[in-house]
Amino acid sequence: MDFTRVELSDDDAAFQAEARRFLADIVTDEVRRRDRETGDNFDEAVHLALGAAGYLEGEYQPEDRGGFTRIRRRIWELEKRRAHVPWVTWGTTIMVARSVGAFGRPELVAEVLPKVLSGHVRMCLGYTEPEGGSDIATCKTRAVRDGDGWVINGSKMFTTGAHNCQYTFLITNTDPQAPKHKSLTMFLLPLDLPGVEIQGIRTIDGDRTNIVYYSDVRVDDKYVLGDVNNGWAVLRGPLDAEHGAVAGIPDGLQDIAIMAHQGGFMSAAVDAVAAQVAPTVDDGSVAYRLGRSAARMEASLSTPSIFGRVALAQTMRDIGPDLMDIAGPASMLPIETPGAADDGASEYLYRFAPLAGIYGGTLEVFRNMIAQHVLALGKPNYSPPRTAS
């Protein structure tokens, strides 16, 4: 592993100082408190300010089109994390916007992209359905041709951020008779169309997500992305990005693991519990368990790419309860509750860890991907065992 420190040029150091100052001004305690309260992982005023200052464009565009250099991209990512910028909705928007850029008709790209960069347009992921999400190709939401346009009926589960977005990246089935990967068509569906209903769901860690119903939603043909029944080609890019199946650049300027951001909650909890118990550690078992949690955390944070995604979420699940146990009964009180041990950091980790191993693909699905695609062990076989005749 490369632990080299990057020496910043004067210009890059100035960029870092300016980014830090800018974020400190706009991401206030009140923004963070409100974000915890709503579970939105999004703040419109912050997002619009980032757009107006050009940070969204810098992040979206490649370097040769005026986007950040590799160094500045890394600085920007780290500064955003330090400031706890609400981030989920921009994460989905940037993935979808790239697909719109690649597969949208020119008039759709012109309608949408400038507003993505200014922050006025946000996009969410309409993949998962109430009856099953891991295999998203088994999509039941139907889009049927109707004159010049389409009529959409169905429902999507866990459409995170839909209530703060203007469009959803919607998987539909346009040919139920076809093999599943040849039956899909992608839409960039405006969420303000009649027949779209968004209902909030709160998850155990306090995040807000949504179930979205689509009832006879009429949409113009221009919102189709790519070719009809060839939605899988449109989906591949964002899915690969989410699954970490894109090759990393070996310059040390990006996260080691995918979903490393989420690992920040784990290091916050380990640090908070260590700070609480360290001054009085005279019990060998406490020191041992704290040390074991810290070592497991470091190992998971140092595990690369797709393996790291599994290691991080699994380690969060494993050490969360241990940290709470070390911190004692007051660790059951959540953040900002008077008397909470470690200010609720390990309690939050405990509630967040299960979700971190579900969204973007469950740990079981990721383990299968490693077995199949990295270790070449073949497809898992779920057929019942053969009985001797």
- Candidate ranges 5-13, 52-60, 120-128, 306-314; the one touching ligand FAD (CB under 6 A): 120-128
DSSP type of residue 134: S
Q: Contacts for 77-85 with beta carbons within 8 Å, 24 or more apart?
A: 77/255, 79/16, 79/19, 79/20, 79/23, 80/23, 81/261, 81/264, 82/20, 82/23, 83/20, 83/23, 83/24, 83/27, 84/27, 84/32, 85/23, 85/27, 85/46, 85/50
CB of 161 within 8 A of CB of 92?
A: yes
DSSP type of residue 147: T
> Is the Cβ of residue 220 or residue 240 nearer to ligand FAD in the bound state?
240
x/- mask, ligand FAD, residues 313-352, rule CB under 6 A, reads: ----------------------------------------
CB of 351 within 8 A of CB of 204?
A: yes
> Could you say whether residue 358 binds ligand FAD (CB under 6 A)?
yes
- Residue among 133, 154, 231, 344 that touches ligand FAD (CB under 6 A): 133
> Could you say whether residue 138 binds ligand FAD (CB under 6 A)?
no
Q: At 34, which amino acid appears? A: R
Q: ∠ CA(317), CA(319), CA(324), 5° rounding? A: 105
> Could you say whether residue 51 binds ligand FAD (CB under 6 A)?
no
Question: Smallest distance, Å, CB 265 to ligand FAD?
Answer: 14
- Candidate ranges 1-9, 52-60, 76-84, 119-127; the one touching ligand FAD (CB under 6 A): 119-127
> Is the Cβ of residue 23 or residue 171 nearer to ligand FAD in the bound state?
171
Question: Smallest distance, Å, CB 355 to ligand FAD?
Answer: 5
Question: Smallest distance, Å, CB 82 to ligand FAD?
Answer: 23
Number of residues that bind ligand FAD (CB under 6 A): 23
- Candidate ranges 32-40, 128-136, 232-240, 294-302; the one touching ligand FAD (CB under 6 A): 128-136
> Could you say whether residue 366 binds ligand FAD (CB under 6 A)?
no
> Could you say whether residue 362 binds ligand FAD (CB under 6 A)?
yes
Residue 242 designated active-site: yes
The Cα diameter of the chain in Å comes to 77
Between the alpha carbon of residue 38 and those of residues 43, 80, 338, the distances in Å are: 10, 20, 20
> Could you say whether residue 368 binds ligand FAD (CB under 6 A)?
yes
DSSP secondary structure letters along 185-204: EEEEEETTSTTEEEEEEE-T
> Could you say whether residue 203 binds ligand FAD (CB under 6 A)?
yes
Pick the catalytic residue: 131, 242, 298, 364?
A: 242
DSSP secondary structure letters along 207-269: -EEEEEEEEEEEEEGGGEESSTT-HHHHHHHHHHHHHT-SPPPTTS-S-SBTTHHHHHHHHHH
Question: Smallest distance, Å, CB 110 to ligand FAD?
Answer: 26
> Is the Cβ of residue 48 or residue 358 nearer to ligand FAD in the bound state?
358
Report CA Rg, the chain. 22
Joined together, the tokens standing for residue 311 give 């290691």
x/- mask, ligand FAD, residues 157-176, rule CB under 6 A, reads: -xxx----------------
Question: Smallest distance, Å, CB 172 to ligand FAD?
Answer: 13
- Candidate ranges 227-235, 270-278, 326-334, 360-368; the one touching ligand FAD (CB under 6 A): 360-368
Q: Contacts for 67-71 with beta carbons within 8 Å, 24 or more apart?
A: 70/249, 70/251, 70/253, 71/6, 71/8, 71/12, 71/253
Beta bridge partners of 152: 143, 217
Question: Smallest distance, Å, CB 205 to ligand FAD?
Answer: 8
**What is the distance between the alpha carbons of residues 306 and 244, in angstroms, rounded to a whole number?**
6
> Could you say whether residue 41 binds ligand FAD (CB under 6 A)?
no
- Residue among 42, 87, 127, 348 that touches ligand FAD (CB under 6 A): 127
| Residues that bind ligand FAD in the complex, under the rule CB under 6 A | 124-128, 132-134, 158-160, 203, 207, 209, 355, 358-362, 364-365, 368
Catalytic sites, residue numbers = 242
